[in-house]
Amino acid sequence: MRVVVSIGGSVLAPDLDPDRVAAYAEAVEHVTAGGCEAGVVVGGGGVAREYIETARDLGANEVELDQLGIGTTRLNARLLIAALDGRSNLSPATGYDEAAAALRRGEVSVMGGVTPGQTTDAVAAAFAESVDADLLVYATSADGVYDADPNVDPDATQFESMSPAELVDVVLPMSRDAGASAPVDLLAAKLIDRAGIRSIVLDGTDPAAVVDAVLRGEHTGTDVIPTGSDEPAHWADARGE
């Protein structure tokens, strides 16, 4: 089974905590030891926001800000690469072919952002599509997809499962509303819908949660299930069914 895991920067390295990065490297190793090829896309987190704020005050334009953001995603990706200790590509892939080539070599394929105008949510979806991944997992600071922003609306309800088209419908108004934080960005949702990628959005605070989700399909987040698709065969095998 081939999986792409998107790890938000603030989930991978809150306050640049080395223990969390090491725990994520261990989680990735469990996933590969469990029989998966793994691609990992790392986000920028708080470090990206700080750089972007400073550069915005200096008058940088949006593309320049995005380039700074991409730089920080690659810095974070290098932290994970360091913790993986030789089991991944040497440096973050800067494009999808390069990322796919690392998978072919049998390495964990780590990358950050690629191009201005998007976030690593979209990178993860495009990477998953480009390598025909069986599963895409978003390890985020939200514990799934809600019908409204749970930080703002106390009545927001979490979806246990939804179709990719429903994900697009949920994310669309959030992406128009400045300040509301969508669990994945609109471009990512559209790519998931277009390609029919089986996905999971879950709370990535505990890296072990990603292992359970990838290897057995067990999690408390939201399943995004393309219409008519079967669950990965790997899950039934892992559960001994």
Could you give the CA distance from residue 121 to residue 134 in angstroms, rounded to a whole number?
Answer: 17
What tokens appear for 139 in the block?
Answer: 């390890």
Q: CA 214, 219, 225, 231 torsion: positive or negative?
A: positive
- Torsions phi, psi for 104 (to 5 deg): -60, -30
Instruction: By CB under 6 A, tell whether 92 contacts ligand UTP.
Output: no
Residue of 13, 73, 88, 99 interacting with ligand UTP (CB under 6 A): 73
CB of 218 vs ligand UTP, minimal distance in Å: 24
Stretch that binds ligand UTP, among 6-14, 28-36, 81-89, 200-208 (CB under 6 A): 6-14
Instruction: By CB under 6 A, tell whether 43 contacts ligand UTP.
Output: yes
Assess contact for 163 and 146: CB atoms under 8 A: no
Could you give the CA distance from residue 44 to residue 178 in angstroms, rounded to a whole number?
Answer: 19
Task: Name the residue nearer to ligand UTP (CB basis): 1 or 186.
Answer: 186
Stretch that binds ligand UTP, among 29-37, 39-47, 91-99, 229-237 (CB under 6 A): 39-47
Instruction: By CB under 6 A, tell whether 40 contacts ligand UTP.
Output: no
The residue with tokens 């979209």 is 122
Instruction: By CB under 6 A, tell whether 88 contacts ligand UTP.
Output: no
Nearest to 183 by CA among 134, 119, 232, 126: 119
Instruction: By CB under 6 A, tell whether 66 contacts ligand UTP.
Output: yes
3-state secondary structure of 81: helix
Instruction: By CB under 6 A, tell whether 44 contacts ligand UTP.
Output: yes
Instruction: By CB under 6 A, tell whether 221 contacts ligand UTP.
Output: no
Q: H or E segment at 223? A: strand 222-224
Under the rule (CB under 6 A), what is the footprint of ligand UTP?
8-10, 43-45, 48, 65-66, 69-70, 73, 113-116, 118-120, 123
